[in-house]
Amino acid sequence: MMRQKRVCAIHDISCFGKCSLTVALPIISSAGIEVSVVPTIILSTHTGGITGYTRRDLSGDILPIISHWQSLNLTFDAIYTGYLGSFEQLDIVSEVIARLRSDENLIIVDPVMADNGRLYTGFSEDFPSGMLKLVQKADIIVPNITEATLLLGEPFREGPYTKEYINKLLTGLAKLGPNKIVITGVYFDELKYGVACLDTSGAGPDYVMSSRISGHYHGTGDIFASALAAGILNDYSLVDSSGIAADFTARSITRTELAGTDPRFGVNFEAELPELIKRLGLI
């Protein structure tokens, strides 16, 4: 029997509205990987298009959780970070990475902070400069186009994009440190939509495209990144993991669109988990 892999997932808990930990846990667990969680903040809902949510910041709990784990000699095959509750948490999570990183494990940073050319509600203008420091410590990053431009200090551009532009973003991000980069929300025309990836140890870049689905469904970036992590930890290449994750996300969105669900409430990824597990070759 192979040793079961274990991931430390550091994201918020949005109690309602599927995203961050409430999608990372089921998706990565379904892929046979143990998930240990570090909740950064607990919100009654996510912050995208919903107002009046409650927040409980857990900054003071994060390092004590890690210290306890260290006293148990726990090790992790990957550390996967997402939405953080405050600017201060960027330093705390850097410290977590410093404490848990080893020569063997992977640091996956999804620099969750913005979309459609705008920072998410509650993030200050200096947040991207703090996120940059976390990205510099990562092996794999999964920004959307807005996050990629913020990390590179470039103005946001509306699509459709050109391959030259996307490749410039990919190589710019690779210069920051990570050797595997996946940019989400890439499109070269109005019909297809997908991701661009660069593995600096291979030939690349590669593009994974599928039919474009109209509308903005909340939490899909987290669903994609979690499925990507599941693929990588099951030893698929970056481009193969991206393809598996993109199909899983697109199928979940299509299902949700057909059901007429409020896009803010997240997508029905649960019904697609069996197909994901098949694609990963686990059943």
Q: Which residues bind ligand PXL (CB under 6 A)?
A: 12, 14, 19-20, 43, 46-48, 83, 112, 120, 219, 221-222
Smallest separation, CB 177 to ligand PXL (Å): 23
Residue closer to ligand PXL, measured from CB, 46 or 180:
46
Residue type, 181: I
Residue closer to ligand PXL, measured from CB, 18 or 137:
18
Residue closer to ligand PXL, measured from CB, 19 or 170:
19
Report the alpha-carbon distance of residue 245 to residue 130 in Å, rounded: 28
Mapped onto helix, strand or coil, the DSSP state of residue 81 is: strand
- Structural tokens at position 227: 């499925």
Smallest separation, CB 68 to ligand PXL (Å): 25
Partners of 118 in beta bridges: 115
Residue closer to ligand PXL, measured from CB, 14 or 149:
14
- Full DSSP string of 107-137: EEE---SEETTEEPTT--TTHHHHHHHHHTT
Smallest separation, CB 108 to ligand PXL (Å): 15
Smallest separation, CB 51 to ligand PXL (Å): 12
Residue closer to ligand PXL, measured from CB, 194 or 219:
219
Smallest separation, CB 23 to ligand PXL (Å): 9
Residue closer to ligand PXL, measured from CB, 89 or 105:
89
Long-range (24+ apart) CB contacts under 8 A made by 12-15 are 12/39, 12/40, 12/41, 12/42, 12/43, 12/46, 12/82, 12/83, 12/84, 12/85, 13/39, 13/41, 13/42, 13/43, 14/43, 14/44, 14/45, 14/46, 15/42, 15/43, 15/44, 15/45
φ, ψ for residue 249, nearest 5 deg:
-65, -45
Smallest separation, CB 97 to ligand PXL (Å): 19
Greatest C-alpha distance within the chain: 53
